[in-house]
Amino acid sequence: MRKRYVGLSVALVVLAGALAGYVARGAQLYQRYHLAYANYSFVPDGPCGALVAWSPPTVLYTALYVNQHSLVTIRYRSPTPQTLRISVSIPSFTDEQTLEVQAAQAFQQVTFWPPLSGPDALNSLISLGQRAAQITLRVHSAGGDCTVTAPVQLKSPEYMLWRDPATGADNTDYLAGWVTEYAKPVQNFIISATDYEAKHPADYPALISSGGLPGYTGQATEDEVRQQVNLLFDTLQRVYHVRYGNDNALYNGGEQRIQLPSELLGSPNGGVGMCVETTVTLASAVLSRGMRPYIIILPNEGHAFLGVALGPAENAPVEYWETSDLNNVSGLQANLDGENEFTKAKSRGEVIVVVDVAYERAQGIVPIPIE
């Protein structure tokens, strides 16, 4: 009898443990479900005949939008299986993107990334800084149509959000989008540099035989590459009269206004650029000539400067240019100062963040489409 009681007690303990585990698992699953839908709001049933939920952003960083390939995720289901035609757009900023989906009883989801409506979609935002807009969601079903809108603030393509506060994602690599090698002002910059070299050949003796900016072509020597970057630096300073201006701290985790190269190069009386702005401008010219630029960031110092590979090989040495030297200092001296800056940071064990622009291009990060 005692053995029977002991066995029954053990069984009850096991049953209680299993029940507790079942309840805990159920609570965990409910918590996951709650978290998954916490930020989603349901579109009123209305005539659309399906249950549709979305979580539209309230702020859109348009420079990042170009490369992050996502505007909003739509979740949907239908008590009766049916085809839904779902459309998303931001009028006067994007075209409408429409997808057909097969809705069933279980929730499914689809992500929308409507294309920009045209070349002026971003250009028009620069003078404004930001503007209010609306995200429009349309659902067409067998039961009818329904439309809902949500307000969104469009931030100028000058604005970088270094880290996403919602997810903690680091957006640093997207800085490669500010390198706009195809923009017309950058191409004009290359022409100006070539003209400047023709007028000052003694300053760039390694380029006399090649003339201008050949990039890595013609088995360019390290000295030829080095002098091409010096030439670009000197042209930016002596022809475009761009000056260095210390601004708000770089890489602080929040948002930061970063002029695009077109703006810095287009200033009629000579622009003023902080370190990251002058770096992405020079990097744009370097990449346009087929050379490999790097954006070097020292987070502890809130500082950025330029790196350039001295040859096309993956293991080619990299040298550095201190872009804060755009105050009556030659490209030759900026190269020496950049080398010193990198060496000191490395010897101190500082965190050094490197954005390899050519690599990021291969990963799909394209130039921000603005002239």
Q: What digits encode the pLDDT tens for the residues 255-287? A: 999 999 999 999 877 889 999 999 999 999 999
183 and 151, same structural domain? no
As a whole number, mean pLDDT of residues 312-332 equals 95
- Would you state the pLDDT for residue 70? 95
Range 284-302 average pLDDT = 96
pLDDT-derived band at 329 (thresholds 50, 70, 90) equals very high
Tell me, yes or no, whether 103 and 252 share the same domain: no
Which tokens go with 219? 């088995």
Do both 256 and 231 map to the same domain? Answer: yes
Q: What is the CATH number of the domain that holds 96?
A: 2.60.40.10
128 and 217 co-located in one domain: no
Q: Is residue 280 part of a domain?
A: yes
Which of 127, 157, 187 is where one domain is finished?
157
Average pLDDT along the chain: 88
The CA–CA distances, whole Å, from 158 to 95, 124, 183 equal 22, 12, 15
In a domain, 27, yes or no: no
- The pLDDT value recorded for residue 39 is 65
Tell me what pLDDT residue 249 has: 66
Mean pLDDT of 342-346: 97
Q: Residue 7 falls within a domain, yes or no?
A: no
Does 90 reside within a domain? yes
Q: Give the domain extent around 296.
A: 172-362
Residue 94 lies in a domain: yes
- The CATH number assigned to the domain holding 254 equals 3.10.620
Nearest in space to 162 (alpha carbons), one of 175, 153, 145: 175
Buried b / exposed e over 177-197, threshold 16 CB at 10 Å, is bbbbbebebbeebbebbeebb
Domain boundary among 157, 186, 219: 157
Average pLDDT of the residues in 20-46: 48
Residues 182 and 61 both lie in one domain: no
Which residues lie below 8 Å from residue 291, measured CB to CB, with a gap of 6+?
215, 216, 225, 228, 229, 308, 309
Annotate 99-134 with DSSP letters as a single string.
EEEEE-SS-EEEEE-PPBSSTHHHHHHHHHSEEEEE
Residue 38's pLDDT is what? Answer: 52
313 domain-assigned: yes
Residues 62 and 201 in one domain: no
pLDDT of the residue at 45: 54
Considering only CA atoms, which of 203, 206, 204 is closest in space to residue 222?
206
pLDDT value of position 9: 47
pLDDT tens track for 171-211 = 999 999 999 999 999 999 999 999 999 999 999 999 988 87
Task: Please give the share of the chain, as a percent, with pLDDT higher than 70.
Answer: 87
Task: Tell whether the model's pLDDT for residue 17 goes beyond 80.
Answer: no
Mean pLDDT of 10-34: 41
- Domains: count for the chain: 2
Give the closest residue to 234 by CA, choosing from 195, 182, 272, 287: 195
pTM across the whole model: 0.86
pLDDT (tens digit, 9 = 90+) per residue, 207-254?
988 878 999 997 899 999 999 999 999 999 999 999 999 876 677 778
- Which of 107, 134, 157 is the endpoint of a domain? 157
25 lies in a domain?
no
Considering the domain architecture, whether residues 136 and 210 belong to the same structural domain is answered as no
- Among the listed ranges 3-17, 251-265, 341-355, which one has the minimum average pLDDT value? 3-17
User: Quick one: average pLDDT of 81-94?
Assistant: 96
The sign of the CA dihedral 180, 181, 186, 189 is positive
pLDDT, position 47 = 57
Residues 307 and 220 in one domain: yes
| 316 in a structural domain | yes
Q: Which residue has the higher pLDDT, 38 or 131?
A: 131
Band of pLDDT at residue 23, cut at 50, 70 and 90: very low
Q: How confident is the model at residue 15 (pLDDT cuts 50, 70, 90)?
A: very low
Specify the pLDDT at position 27. 39
What's the pLDDT at 218?
Answer: 79
* In a shared domain, residues 148 and 213: no
In terms of domains, do 144 and 178 share one? Answer: no
Burial 44-83 (b: 16+ CB within 10 A, else e): eeeebbbbbbbebeeebbbbbbbbbeebbebbbbbeeeee
Three-state secondary structure call for residue 359: helix
> Number of C-alpha atoms within 13 angstroms, CB side, residue 243?
8
Residue 31 has a pLDDT of 41
- What is residue 361's DSSP assignment? H
| 187 & 123 share domain | no
Confidence of residue 18 (pLDDT cuts 50, 70, 90): very low
Q: What is the dihedral of CA 74, 116, 166, 359, to 10 degrees?
A: 120
Same domain, 153 and 188: no
**What tens digit of pLDDT does each residue of 124-161 get?**
999 899 999 999 999 998 888 889 999 999 999 999 99
| Residue 167's pLDDT band (cuts 50, 70, 90) | confident
